[in-house]
A and B are shown apart, each in its own frame.
Chain A
Amino acid sequence: MSSINSTKPVGIEVSLAIAEAVKLAEVEVVAAYPITPQTHIVEHLSDLVANGELNAEYVPVESEHSALSACIGSSAAGARTFTSTSSQGLMLMAEIVFIAPMLRMPIVMAVANRAISGPLNIWNDHSDVMSIRDCGWIQIFAETGQEATDLSIIAFRIAEDKNVMMPLILNLDGFTLSHFIEPIIFPEADKVKKFLPPYETSHKLDLNNPLSFGLLGGPEVYTEARRDTDLALLNSRSHVQRIFDEFAGAFGRQYRLVETYKTEGAETIIVTIGSISETAMSAVDEMRAVGEKVGLIHIRLWRPFPVVEFRAAVAGAKNLAVVDRHISMGFPEGPVGTEVRALMYHEKERPRISNYVLGLGGRDVTRNHFKYIVEQVKSLGADKRQGGYEMVGVLE
């Protein structure tokens, strides 16, 4: 398939659209392991490079572990670097994932979120990325093909920003986004050039100014080094929104750290991450139509967590119904539920927080699931502190 050159909506598989966006970003190195659970993202990038449409180095490595290792090397050489993975691939990559933030390598990685084994399953949920939650990368979720395309370009701008210099994971739901065909408007190449200038840095391997990367950090400095990375990640929050705003100025599509939908006057707010937010919006529309005071918040920036924006967005709600697509084994709640509860615990006006785990391993999430959740919240007792926890639809 040849490269896209159109400003009108094009029907295209989202994986291919991401590859096209990465091409528009004029990536210099792509290192990837091309075997399942991979997506068409790197397959299409490989086509683009082989056809001479993208002037980049494509490094087909022998494992996901090597893929990210090669990316760190390439980023340390000062090249704009991209990779993509999913599910078990991310698990194998995990060892290297945790190293890139400390090295401050602005690699962009698309993760098509899929289940992890076992049992063997590569359908959509958030088990993969939630397992590396604390890795130190900026983590953003796309909900539609358009968002995944735009954010693929924005991702480089954020990661490489002189005030940020952090690797970035762009999450998109496996299959429900990665393998679906959607109408997508591609940002114009000349405008992308302006929005995203070539990557230039002095933080690289340079014969004239030699540096050692990947040092030992003993007990006398490890704590400081980890906190340094943590501070860099926390500090990136405001820059993410600034760059979202700049993108909106140039291309007309506005993104926010926390997206809200019909939250005004909402007594119950559903909290989601990822593509099910689209389904949830339809469910909210239908519930609003019959008088339910319900709204929706979708968390776009998962790390660093937009604490201030989140608290502001849920202010006034009586109930939060937090949806998780990952099971935190051995704890009576999913990770998003736990974090939301922790964030709200000290608030004066604290909503009742319930947590619902659903959509694991590719199980469908429909509008009715959200209506069901709202019904459960409404049927809770009078005690404001007693929220519910349920794995929705599990047969016991």
Chain B
Amino acid sequence: MNKKVDIVMEAAFKISDLPLGFTAKPGTTRKFKTGDWRSARPVLDRAKCVYCGFCYIYCPDGVYRDMGAEKYYQVDLDYCKGCGICAHECPKKCIQMIIEEV
């Protein structure tokens, strides 16, 4: 390789480290946070929330967690893609989509 010119090296894996057939053990998203390209985040107003569970049921990524005794559902922002379905479906309109700042 000619070192006189710097090129951006984006490669994260060596070819020799790739598994046969580009497979992976299950559960890779535990390591890779998949919510980092979200452009808006859901923010819950707990004062209005009636703990109906619509956000939990409708979330296409299953990233709402039942907080049990605290009587609300909390979004996991490591994985939320910001689709806004929870805010749209919320019968009490207590979820707001807030634009993510860069």
Contact = CB atoms under 8 A, between A and B. Distances in A.
A220 B20 CA distance: 18
A221 B20 contact: no
Contacts of A148: none
Interface string A18-48: 0000000000000000000000000000000
Contacts of B21: 102-105, 165, 203, 213
A225 B10 contact: no
Interface in B28-81: 28
A223 B11 contact: yes
B1 interface: no
A228 B18 CA distance: 8
Contacts of B26: 210-212
B24 to A, nearest CB: 5
Contacts of A104: 20-21
B25 A224 contact: no
B15 A220 contact: no
A225 B23 CA distance: 11
Interface string A272-297: 00000000000000000000000000
Contacts of A210: 25-26
B4 interface: no
Interface in A148-185: 165
A219 B10 contact: yes
A98 to B, nearest CB: 13
Contacts of A215: 22-24, 28
B13 A231 contact: no
A231 to B, nearest CB: 7
A227 B25 contact: no
A217 interface: yes
Contacts of B28: 212, 215
Residues of A in contact with B, size category:
20 to 34
B20 A224 contact: no
Contacts of B10: 219-220
B12 interface: yes
Given A210-B26, A211-B25, A203 B20 contact: yes
A212 B15 contact: no
A211 B23 contact: yes
B14 interface: yes
Contacts of A225: 18, 22
B19 to A, nearest CB: 8
Nearest to A221: B13
A103 B25 contact: no
Nearest to A223: B11
Contacts of A221: 11-13, 18
Nearest to A103: B21
B81 to A, nearest CB: 14
Nearest to B21: A104
A164 to B, nearest CB: 11
Interface in A207-264: 210-213, 215, 217, 219-221, 223-225, 227-228, 231
Nearest to A225: B22
B15 A227 contact: yes
Contact of A102 (B11, B12, B22): B22
B22 A231 contact: no
Give the one of B13, B14, B21, B26 with max A CB within 10 A: B21
Contacts of A212: 23-26, 28
Contacts of B12: 220-221
Contacts of B13: 220-221, 224
A215 B29 CA distance: 12
A105 B21 CA distance: 8
A105 B10 CA distance: 28
A212 B22 CA distance: 9
Interface of A: 102-105, 165, 203, 210-213, 215, 217, 219-221, 223-225, 227-228, 231
28 contacts: A102-B21, A102-B22, A103-B21, A104-B20, A104-B21, A203-B21, A210-B26, A211-B24, A211-B25, A211-B26, A212-B23, A212-B26, A213-B21, A213-B23, A215-B24, A217-B22, A219-B10, A220-B10, A220-B13, A221-B11, A221-B12, A221-B13, A223-B11, A224-B14, A224-B15, A224-B18, A225-B18, A225-B22
List the 3 closest pairs (A to B, CB-CB), nearest first: A104-B21, A220-B12, A211-B23
